[in-house]
């Protein structure tokens, strides 16, 4: 499953990876950072209050150098004696690779000097204890991804996914994987792949007269050849170590079933049930689908796992493995690192909106550690996320059906899919409120509970819907009978892949069909969700919170009704006009400007984004921001991944949190959502002494001339012949290029989670410094101006 990859491949991978792999960070005590900073480490995690992986200590040089510096360093490897085509290819490769690498390094998905990275680096030290020069070229970082994967760059950077370490059985397996990755580096597989792919695409040599399908196959074959080579050469290196090869081949078992999580435990129906809240048996599969190995590697970049295992085993025949060990760094170290990774996976799943996976992973870990508040919160957040997405008609964004899910987690996918939005909401409220009662001082739980209760009111405004009396004894038999009539045995041929039709929350709330169904359910005394709050309804606090939620809901409704009135619209228009004329006034005491970005785009080029120019312009933009914020008298702080110093690990962590926060916000759209990093975010607002964080940047876009422009230019040119004074302008108009520059500023109030101001100024000019200065100064003036 491990692989090397070309920049192109990675470019297509990493935006998804960013979307899919966001992490949450909690409560890092400063003493851990201090210990790590002085070169020691501790795996002494309190797994009840788990703290997600954070970087610490000295910021590695790779994180601090610009893409252009990396590129200039890389191209030194190119020999002057090489053919021109190879030189070109390598230069292109190094160019893209340098920018890809920096994108990833600055995405916040990688961590350094964390307990897991330290452990993996120790394993690498053990492997390369006799090859110091090679060891000095290798840098290993942990990638916050749940996939069973590792990557190697041509410059010696290896990423190990959290999901890989979470699934491994022992240290020997990790060592074998690292040996495999080392071969990718030493044999420069990624460059070789680029050169070969160029031959394939151009139809050179043996690839002459091959059709497109054959080219695809050839590219796949070459990649598989490299992987096999990495396996075998890696194995040779591995055999020189003192690791036990027989214990290492278990990794191929995991590769064969990468769809399974680190542990397979049946999901118990009664896990979320109480004595009164009992789910219908029809919400559970009687039998989950069979687990099938993915053996088809025809178009894959990797050979099938069973073939790789067989190849490795054949090389191990007759070898003497006496004295070899499964663990060299230490079994405890491995277990600690793995446990951290497993706990980390819950967070990553949550940030990827993979709530079902987060729920099941937390469920698995809770079996071992039932008292962990961290895991309980993960369960609560999963329920909250599922309920929010279902209520807001966006469930299809986070769910693609349960048929393709393999393993016991399929039960979880099926269960949540079967639950109706009001049921899921009531379940989430029940779980969250009980958690809130358990941890009343946890602000995150309180905020989420409050939000989900407000949402519940739209389904059940009258709390009398819920029964305060215990569940009747007859309910179980009614539910069982009902389930038997529906049938819930998974049958692939009968049941197509389930897709939820997206409905808005208004549809689900007020649509006549839905309303009727709801009414029918309400009248039905056997409706199981009526008994969700039997215990809670005896709690005066719950009654009080319920009433408060009703009041909030009514206020929101009346606000929404007022917004429809002519009077409101008139007043809004007046405000809008005033804002256009005078600008806004936010009265910010301080603003934190986060990771300013700059993209220069040329529509006419095959690679529209001018990476080098963008990077250089980004540096100028930082200066521009500083100058104008100072001139405007704005109290600000600029934190930027591109501007890290050796001692900026804390800033790096802050930016990672903020990156994930902004990605989450942009995905949510207009859905109100309490973010998962409430504690972290609160820590940031406290640290920077402001709630206002600004994501700002510039995009300069060079347009292609369209027909209308060309037509006008011609008319103008003809006119200028008859009236010669216009000639200079006609010439200027004929040859000038059309640019659009977008200056974007998006301020979030991290206290409320709402966007305070979104500005996109489109200027019909090239990104001239005076234009940028002018607009940024104006923006900062408005941000500083006291509110009226």
Partner 1 sequence: MRKLLICFFLFPALLKGQVPGYQGKHFILSYNLDVLPNLAYIDLNSVSTLPVQILFSNHISTEYVLGRSFSLGLDASYSQSKIFLVDGNANESGDSYGLNLTFYPKKNNTIAPVGNYFKIRIFTGSTWASGNIRNNTFDNNGYPVTLIKPEQTNLTVNGFGIGFGNNMIVHNNIVLTASVNLDFNVMNFNNNKIPTGSNFEELTYDIQNHLFETYLFYFKLGIGGLMF
- In this complex, which beta carbon is closest to partner 1, that of residue 619 or of residue 785? 785
- In this complex, which beta carbon is closest to partner 1, that of residue 11 or of residue 773? 773
Extract the tokens encoding 710: 């060309």
Distance CA 593, CA 597 (A): 11
Does 218 interact with partner 1 (rule: CB under 8 A)?
no
Give the one residue of 457, 594, 771, 783 binding partner 1; rule: CB under 8 A: 771
Which residue(s) pair with 592 in the sheet?
Answer: 637, 693
Distance CA 76, CA 94 (A): 10
- Residue where the block lists tokens 């903020």: 658
Shortest Å, Cβ 702 to partner 1:
17
Give the one residue of 728, 737, 751, 758 binding partner 1; rule: CB under 8 A: 728
Stretch that binds partner 1, among 130-138, 263-271, 440-448, 759-767 (CB under 8 A): 759-767
- Cα dihedral 637, 643, 649, 652 sign: positive
Give the count of beta carbons closer than 10 Å to the beta carbon of residue 741: 21
Phi-psi region of 117 (alpha: psi -120 to 50; beta: other; left: phi over 0): alpha
| Cα-based torsion angle of the residue sequence 194, 200, 205, 210 in order, rounded to the nearest 10 degrees | 170
- In this complex, which beta carbon is closest to partner 1, that of residue 663 or of residue 781? 781
Does 142 interact with partner 1 (rule: CB under 8 A)?
no
Give the one residue of 706, 770, 786, 787 binding partner 1; rule: CB under 8 A: 770
Q: Quick check: 305 and 255 in contact, CB under 8 A?
A: yes
Which residue(s) pair with 699 in the sheet?
Answer: 599, 742
Does 775 interact with partner 1 (rule: CB under 8 A)?
yes
Give the one residue of 190, 197, 628, 659 binding partner 1; rule: CB under 8 A: 628
Distance CA 353, CA 26 (A): 18
Nearest to 362 by CA among 430, 412, 320: 412
Does 337 interact with partner 1 (rule: CB under 8 A)?
no
Extract the tokens encoding 202: 């151009």
- In this complex, which beta carbon is closest to partner 1, that of residue 566 or of residue 580? 580
Stretch that binds partner 1, among 133-141, 207-215, 694-702, 721-729 (CB under 8 A): 721-729
Does 683 interact with partner 1 (rule: CB under 8 A)?
no
Shortest Å, Cβ 619 to partner 1:
18
Q: Quick check: 597 and 619 in contact, CB under 8 A?
A: no
Shortest Å, Cβ 701 to partner 1:
14
Backbone angles phi, psi at 682, to 5 degrees: -65, -40
Backbone angles phi, psi at 394, to 5 degrees: -115, 20
Does 249 interact with partner 1 (rule: CB under 8 A)?
no
Shortest Å, Cβ 633 to partner 1:
9
Q: How many CA atoms lie within 13 A of 127 on its CB side?
A: 30
Does 510 interact with partner 1 (rule: CB under 8 A)?
no
- In this complex, which beta carbon is closest to partner 1, that of residue 271 or of residue 765? 765
Residue 46, helix vs strand vs coil: coil
- In this complex, which beta carbon is closest to partner 1, that of residue 400 or of residue 761? 761
Give the one residue of 496, 540, 725, 786 binding partner 1; rule: CB under 8 A: 725
Does 397 interact with partner 1 (rule: CB under 8 A)?
no
Exposure pattern of 15-49 as b/e (b: 16+ CB <10 Å)? Answer: eebbebbbbbbbebeeebbebbeeeebebebebee
Stretch that binds partner 1, among 9-17, 166-174, 222-230, 757-765 (CB under 8 A): 757-765
Write each residue from 585 to 624 as x if it is in contact with partner 1 (CB under 8 A), else as -, in one continuous string. ----------------------------------------
- In this complex, which beta carbon is closest to partner 1, that of residue 31 or of residue 724? 724
Does 774 interact with partner 1 (rule: CB under 8 A)?
yes
Distance CA 758, CA 749 (A): 12
Distance CA 253, CA 435 (A): 38
Angle at 683 between CA 677 and CA 685, to 5 degrees: 100
Does 67 interact with partner 1 (rule: CB under 8 A)?
no
Shortest Å, Cβ 754 to partner 1:
24
- Note the Cα 646 to chain centre separation in Å: 26
Give the one residue of 506, 729, 736, 737 binding partner 1; rule: CB under 8 A: 729
Distance CA 75, CA 534 (A): 70
Shortest Å, Cβ 636 to partner 1:
15
Does 276 interact with partner 1 (rule: CB under 8 A)?
no
Q: Quick check: 63 and 112 in contact, CB under 8 A?
A: yes
Angle subtended by helix axes 678-688 and 443-457, to nearest 10: 120
Does 786 interact with partner 1 (rule: CB under 8 A)?
no
Does 785 interact with partner 1 (rule: CB under 8 A)?
yes
Shortest Å, Cβ 601 to partner 1:
18
Q: Quick check: 349 and 19 in contact, CB under 8 A?
A: no
Q: Quick check: 603 and 702 in contact, CB under 8 A?
A: yes
Q: Quick check: 741 and 762 in contact, CB under 8 A?
A: yes
Stretch that binds partner 1, among 150-158, 393-401, 625-633, 714-722 (CB under 8 A): 625-633
Write each residue from 631 to 650 as x if it is in contact with partner 1 (CB under 8 A), else as -, in one continuous string. xx------------------
Q: How many CA atoms lie within 13 A of 593 on its CB side?
A: 25
Extract the tokens encoding 275: 């004595």
Stretch that binds partner 1, among 110-118, 123-131, 298-306, 774-782 (CB under 8 A): 774-782
Give the one residue of 187, 263, 400, 761 binding partner 1; rule: CB under 8 A: 761
Write each residue from 541 to 580 as x if it is in contact with partner 1 (CB under 8 A), else as -, in one continuous string. ---------------------------------------x
Does 777 interact with partner 1 (rule: CB under 8 A)?
yes
Give the one residue of 239, 535, 763, 767 binding partner 1; rule: CB under 8 A: 763
- In this complex, which beta carbon is closest to partner 1, that of residue 304 or of residue 629? 629
- In this complex, which beta carbon is closest to partner 1, that of residue 711 or of residue 765? 765
Backbone angles phi, psi at 152, to 5 degrees: -130, 130
Give the one residue of 84, 513, 581, 708 binding partner 1; rule: CB under 8 A: 581
# residues contacting partner 1 (CB under 8 A): 29
Shortest Å, Cβ 721 to partner 1:
15
SS (H, E, C) 293-344: CCCCCCCCCCCCHHHHHHHHHHHHCCCCCCCCECCCCCHHHHHHHHHHHHHH
Does 656 interact with partner 1 (rule: CB under 8 A)?
no
Does 719 interact with partner 1 (rule: CB under 8 A)?
no
- In this complex, which beta carbon is closest to partner 1, that of residue 470 or of residue 769? 769
Does 290 interact with partner 1 (rule: CB under 8 A)?
no
Shortest Å, Cβ 747 to partner 1:
17
List helix spans (H) across 21-169: 30-37, 61-64, 67-74, 84-105, 115-127, 132-137, 162-167
Does 626 interact with partner 1 (rule: CB under 8 A)?
no
Nearest to 151 by CA among 253, 344, 302: 302
Stretch that binds partner 1, among 295-303, 682-690, 702-710, 722-730 (CB under 8 A): 722-730
Stretch that binds partner 1, among 244-252, 275-283, 664-672, 762-770 (CB under 8 A): 762-770
- In this complex, which beta carbon is closest to partner 1, that of residue 324 or of residue 784? 784
Backbone angles phi, psi at 55, to 5 degrees: -80, 160
Give the one residue of 465, 583, 620, 685 binding partner 1; rule: CB under 8 A: 583
Residue 636, helix vs strand vs coil: strand
Cβ neighbours of residue 398 closer than 8 Å, sequence gap 6 or more: 353, 354, 355, 385, 386, 389
Residues that bind partner 1 (CB under 8 A): 580-583, 627-628, 631-632, 724-725, 728-729, 761-765, 768-771, 773-775, 777-778, 781-782, 785
């Amino acid at each position: 499953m491990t692989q090397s990859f070309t920049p192109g491949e990675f470019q297509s991978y990493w935006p998804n990876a960013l979307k899919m792999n966001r992490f949450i960070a909690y409560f890092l005590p400063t003493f851990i950072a201090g210990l790590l900073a002085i070169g020691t480490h501790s795996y002494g995690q309190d797994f009840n209050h788990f703290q997600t992986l954070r970087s610490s200590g000295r910021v590695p040089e790779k994180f601090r150098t610009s893409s252009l510096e990396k590129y200039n360093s890389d191209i030194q490897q190119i020999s002057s004696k090489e053919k021109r085509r190879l030189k070109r290819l390598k230069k292109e490769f190094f160019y893209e690779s340098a920018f890809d690498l920096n994108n990833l390094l600055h995405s916040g998905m990688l961590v350094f000097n964390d307990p897991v990275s330290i452990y993996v680096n120790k394993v690498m030290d053990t492997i390369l204890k006799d090859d110091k020069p090679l060891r000095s070229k290798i840098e290993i970082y942990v990638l916050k991804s749940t996939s069973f994967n590792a990557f190697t760059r041509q410059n010696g950077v290896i990423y190990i996914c959290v999901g890989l370490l979470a699934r491994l059985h022992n240290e020997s397996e990790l060592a074998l994987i690292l040996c495999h990755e080392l071969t990718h580096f030493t044999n420069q597989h990624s460059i070789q792949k680029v050169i070969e792919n160029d031959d394939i695409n151009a139809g050179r040599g043996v690839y002459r007269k091959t059709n497109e399908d054959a080219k695809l196959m050839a590219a796949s074959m070459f990649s598989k050849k490299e992987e096999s080579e990495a396996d075998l050469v890696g194995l040779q290196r591995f055999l020189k170590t003192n690791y036990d090869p027989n214990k290492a081949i278990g990794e191929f078992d995991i590769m064969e079933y990468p769809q399974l999580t680190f542990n397979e435990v049946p999901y118990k129906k009664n896990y979320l049930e109480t004595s009164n809240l009992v789910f219908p048996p029809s919400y559970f599969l009687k039998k989950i689908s069979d687990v099938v190995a993915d053996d088809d590697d025809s178009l894959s970049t990797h050979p099938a796992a069973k073939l790789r295992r067989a190849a490795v085993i054949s090389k191990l025949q007759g070898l003497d493995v006496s004295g070899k060990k499964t663990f060299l760094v230490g079994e405890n170290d491995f277990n600690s690192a793995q446990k951290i990774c497993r706990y980390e996976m819950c967070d990553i799943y949550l940030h990827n909106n993979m709530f079902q996976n987060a729920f099941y992973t937390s469920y698995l870990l809770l079996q071992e550690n039932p008292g962990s508040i961290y895991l309980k919160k993960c369960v609560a957040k999963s329920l909250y996320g599922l309920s929010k997405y279902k209520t807001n008609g966006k469930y299809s964004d986070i769910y693609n059906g349960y048929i393709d899910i393999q393993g016991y987690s399929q039960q979880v996918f099926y269960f949540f899919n079967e639950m109706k939005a009001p049921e899921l909401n009531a379940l989430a409220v029940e779980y969250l409120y009980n958690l809130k009662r358990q941890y009343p001082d946890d602000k995150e739980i309180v905020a989420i509970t409050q939000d989900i209760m407000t949402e519940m009111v739209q389904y059940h405004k009258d709390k009398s819907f819920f029964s305060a009396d215990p569940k009747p004894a007859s309910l179980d038999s009614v539910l069982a009978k009902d389930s038997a009539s529906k049938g819930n045995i998974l049958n692939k041929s009968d049941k197509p892949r389930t897709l939820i039709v997206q409905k808005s929350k208004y549809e689900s709330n007020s649509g006549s069909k839905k309303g009727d169904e709801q009414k029918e359910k309400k009248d039905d005394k056997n409706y199981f969700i009526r008994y969700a709050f039997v215990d809670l309804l005896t709690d005066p606090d719950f009654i009080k919170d319920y009433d408060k939620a009703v009041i909030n809901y009514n206020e929101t409704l009346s606000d929404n009704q007022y917004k429809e009135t002519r009077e409101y619209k008139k007043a809004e228009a007046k405000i809008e006009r005033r804002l256009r004329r005078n600008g806004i006034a936010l009265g910010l005491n301080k603003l934190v400007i986060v990771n300013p970005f700059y993209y220069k785009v040329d529509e006419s080029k095959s690679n529209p984004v001018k990476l080098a120019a963008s990077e250089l312009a980004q540096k100028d933009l930082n200066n521009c921001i500083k100058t104008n914020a100072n001139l405007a008298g704005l109290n600000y702080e600029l934190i930027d991944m591109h501007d890290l110093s050796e001692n900026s690990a804390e800033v790096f962590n802050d930016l990672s949190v903020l990156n994930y926060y902004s990605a989450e916000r942009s995905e949510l759209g207009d859905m109100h959502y309490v973010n998962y990093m409430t504690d972290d975010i609160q820590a940031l607002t406290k640290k920077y002494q402001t709630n206002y964080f600004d994501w700002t940047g510039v995009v300069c876009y060079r347009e292609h001339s369209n027909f209308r422009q060309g037509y006008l230019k011609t008319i103008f040119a003809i006119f200028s012949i008859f009236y010669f004074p216009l000639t200079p302008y006609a010439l200027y108009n004929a040859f000038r290029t059309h640019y659009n520059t977008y200056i974007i500023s998006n301020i979030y109030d991290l206290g409320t989670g709402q966007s305070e101001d979104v500005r996109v100024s489109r200027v019909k000019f090239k990104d001239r410094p005076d234009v940028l200065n002018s607009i940024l100064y104006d923006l900062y003036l408005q941000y500083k101006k006291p509110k009226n």
